[in-house]
Amino acid sequence: MEKKDYQITAWCRRMMREHVSEGAFCIDATMGKGNDTQQLCLLAGKAGKVLAFDIQEEAIRETRRRLEKTLDYCNYELLLESHTHMERYAKPESADCIVFNLGYLPGGSHAVATKAETTVEALEQGLRLLKRNGLMSVCIYSGGDSGYEERDAVLAWLKALDCRKYLVMLTRYYNRPNDPPIPAMVIKM
């Protein structure tokens, strides 16, 4: 029997599959090595569009290489730009899905990572850019080089969202020791 994948990114991608169909408009707010960008590009298809943001050239290079190898169409734009500028590139209430995978570039410098203040600012923008019924998925990490400031700020921000406007769901790897990652989903109602 095929082994199921319950890693945080695989878990979030299940929800992405529900929300992203052919022709969708999506944003990857933390491009990294492009795994999520690729997934969004495949789900949105030729008729769709994906914007992906990162502040490191290495991320753009890696992601471009990955997408050129796996896709025979170009439905993406890779931007060397902070996610705090997402609103310059997309219209309000236009996105079907926005993905945040916080932290540092795997294999890259741990010093260049997402930060509490800018992440919360970008998440606020994400809410404005989401369509009704749109999904914002956030992978939250803590401990080690990530520390706790960003996790605590994001969890506090999620908790304070108006429950008449947003559905917020967290999953816990409840019996895992130390600081397991936390997948969070926000759906705009």
Ligand X SMILES: C[S@@+](CC[C@H](N)C(=O)[O-])C[C@H]1O[C@@H](n2cnc3c(N)ncnc32)[C@H](O)[C@@H]1O
- The residues binding ligand X (CB under 6 A) are 30, 32-36, 53-56, 59, 82-84, 101, 103-105, 112-114, 118
The nearest distance, CB 119 to ligand X, in angstroms, is 8
The nearest distance, CB 50 to ligand X, in angstroms, is 12
Give the nearer residue to ligand X in terms of CB position, either 1 or 56.
56
Give the nearer residue to ligand X in terms of CB position, either 25 or 53.
53
Give the nearer residue to ligand X in terms of CB position, either 53 or 76.
53
Give the nearer residue to ligand X in terms of CB position, either 114 or 125.
114
> Which residues sit opposite 99 in a β-bridge?
28, 137
The nearest distance, CB 138 to ligand X, in angstroms, is 11
How would you write the chain as a 3-class SS string? CCCCCCCHHHHHHHHHHHHCCCCCEEEECCCCCCHHHHHHHHHHCCCCEEEEEECCHHHHHHHHHHHHHHCCCCCEEEEECCHHHHHHCCCCCCEEEEEEECCECCCCCCCCECCHHHHHHHHHHHHHHEEEEEEEEEEECCEHHHECHHHHHHHHHHHCCCCCCEEEEECCCCCCCCCCCEEEEEEEC
Give the nearer residue to ligand X in terms of CB position, either 82 or 171.
82
The nearest distance, CB 147 to ligand X, in angstroms, is 14
Residue nearest to ligand X (CB): 32
The nearest distance, CB 42 to ligand X, in angstroms, is 13
